[in-house]
Amino acid sequence: MSMSSALLGSLLFILFVLPDHVTARHKPKFRPGPWKHAHATFYEGGSGSFGGACGYHDVVQEGYGLDTVALSDTLFNNGQSCGACYDIQCVDSPQWCKPGQPTLHVTATNHCPPNYNLPSDNGGWCNAPREHFDIAKPVFLNIAEYKAGIVPIIYRRVQCQKRGGIRFTITGNPYFNEVLVWNVGGAGDVISVQVKGHDKLKWTTMKRMWGQRWITDAKLVGESLTFRVEASDKRRSTSWHIAPQNWQFGQTFEGKNFR
């Protein structure tokens, strides 16, 4: 083969093969979604309860602060939306909305259960198919007055800005491994978690137990662990060998975050 033919072949490879490879590995950053109309209420609780249905232990200690929200059935999506971030503004209610329509930036950390004993427009605010936000009471006051009870809002999905890397808290026992995935940037919500060891454990897909708690009965003990997380925007983040070979249950390890 002549040098010119070899060069042409290399160029064709770059033009037709490499772009797909690059696109798969370097997807664009998460972009805000469109503004949509919904309603919001508030609920009582604290740092240890505002993360209930998503499995977070303490939303303040885990970096979410009290800027959190419980999602209605339709938005919660069986726990897949845990960790997603939203901008919320109170609108069309001058009596109750705060002046200037300030924007509340919240992370989904809980579930607002439906109440089908009440009408969807009168108490059953979180019944399907309503898109509804039940905001942590300490921050609801940032956008509206408590006396309102329920207010009309506009909302949109936005990128999650988190400090540091994705955290993996490992609990359970040698025969039942449970991993809580938290502090996720980018899209914020996780749709897939894989784990790999340095020796015998090959790439293993974990199952969602509930919220952002993931489980596997594969043998993790004694392996240096690597985690791969996939978010709802199909971006992946791989954290290589972040748990040493002698890791212990109850420990938390920090990996690579989305930017």
| Cα–Cα distance for residue pair 109/53, rounded to 1 Å | 7
Radius of gyration of the chain (CA): 22
How is the chain split into domains, by residue range?
36-158, 167-254
- The secondary structure of residue 200, as a DSSP letter, is S
CB 81 within 8 A of CB 108: yes
CA nearest neighbour of 258 among 169, 162, 130: 162
Q: Which CATH class is domain 167-254?
A: mainly beta
pLDDT digits (tens, 9 = 90+) for 78-117: 999 999 999 999 999 999 999 999 999 999 999 999 999 9
State residue 18's pLDDT score: 34
DSSP code string of 67-78: -EEEEPHHHHGG
CA nearest neighbour of 215 among 195, 187, 231, 190: 195
pLDDT digits (tens, 9 = 90+) for 13-59: 333 333 333 233 467 889 999 999 999 999 998 888 888 899 999 99
CA nearest neighbour of 256 among 180, 177, 183: 183
* Residue 216, pLDDT above cutoff 60: yes
CATH of domain 36-158: 2.40.40.10
pTM metric for this prediction: 0.87
CA nearest neighbour of 173 among 220, 205, 206: 220
CB 174 within 8 A of CB 136: no
CB-based contacts of 162, cutoff 8 Å, min separation 6: 63, 183, 184, 185, 257
Alpha-carbon dihedral sign for residues 74, 171, 239, 68: positive
